[in-house]
Amino acid sequence: MTITQSHENEALLVLEKEAKKLEECLPKADFMGCNKKFQLVRYQDYWHLDKHYIKNTYTFQKQFQAQDSDFIISSIPKTGTTWLKSLLFAVVNRVHYPNTRENHPILSGHPHDLVYRLENGIYGEFYGEFGKDNNLCPSTLDDIPSPRLFSTHVPYTSLPESIKKSECRIIFITRNPLDSLVSQWHFYTKTAKNLYGEDFKPYSLEDYFKNFMDGKILYGPFFEHAIEYWKQSLERPHKVLFLKYEDLKDDPTLQLKRLAEFVGMPFSPQEEGGGVIKDIIELCSIKNLKELDVNKNGKVVQIYPDDYLLSGNIKQTGLTVWFYSSYVETVLS
């Protein structure tokens, strides 16, 4: 072990102790009926998971040093993160991988392995043997070629100061709250059963709806989280790009051009005429991503089978109709 590594390990131990003391003082709430196996903790006005999660976020806040050339995707879970990751990677790296049908990294690598997760990947321990993205750790971040591509679920309030103050750029994506809620509930329900067995009984959709409206969801409150980034996109449009999943779905060409312009890599007339935009859209389409072997059998889906890629449509079941009517009644009351 080198002197540098020894100092890094000592710093991490200090941060771990600080995070543990911090967690003991934070307000707590139940999460998906997990009965204290996992709880939500309220940190800087937003809800995070306890145990490793809050330590990951705290360490990320204290240690991460952004570079001006970094691109960081931010989102609440189940709002289109994985799709946006594939699009960003394809746009930024299209010079290196012009052929989208052969030997493209997206064809063999899960989007979460191409755009590195920060608090729950590089700084994370929750996933055990699956934890580190491509064996990366904080001390190796400077070795990543520029531009570095990262993702986070942390609200703007809790981002490291280096992200806020540097010239790095943030791409935030949000989604219709109804679809987000239903997708989250399905995702967390299946995840809980994978972790604790099929006999585990998580929240009903009705219970999850109540918590959603109270803001007691992972990285919630949902609306405040999105509004923070939206305000930043208005005040600093060169810094934050605000995208909506529905816009990306309805007009992917326009939104992809917005994305390319925002990261400083606009499509040339030759690229547009040569079908580059169309090729990227097809490569990164949810239908295509779901059919790739890496997205069916890779390390990420060993933890969360089949649920990292949105179908694009939430079926209008009786439960979703009930939610919509309850949502309207709650908002208007």
Annotated catalytic residue, options 153, 186, 225, 238: 153
Sheet with strand 39-43: strands edge to edge: 28-30, 39-43, 46-49
Confirm if 111 and 289 have CB atoms less than 8 A apart.
yes
DSSP 103: S
Consecutive H or E run containing 125: none
Task: Provide DSSP, 203-232.
Answer: --HHHHHHHHHHT-STT--HHHHHHHHHHH
What is the rounded distance in angstroms from the CA atom of residue 112 to the CA atom of residue 131? 12
CA distance 170 to 168: 7
Q: What does the DSSP 8-state code read for residue 308?
A: S
Residue that has been written with the tokens 């509004």 in this structure = 227
Q: SS3 string of 3-19?
A: HHHHHHHHHHHHHHHHH
Pairwise CA distance, residues 282 & 86, whole Å: 11
Q: Is 153 a catalytic residue?
A: yes
Give the chain's end-to-end CA distance (angstroms, integer). 62
The answer to whether the CB of 194 falls within 8 A of the CB of 171 is no
Question: Which sign, positive or negative, has the C-alpha torsion 50, 189, 317, 248?
Answer: positive
Q: How far apart are CA 188 and CA 76, in angstroms?
A: 13
Instruction: Kindly list the catalytic residues.
Output: 153
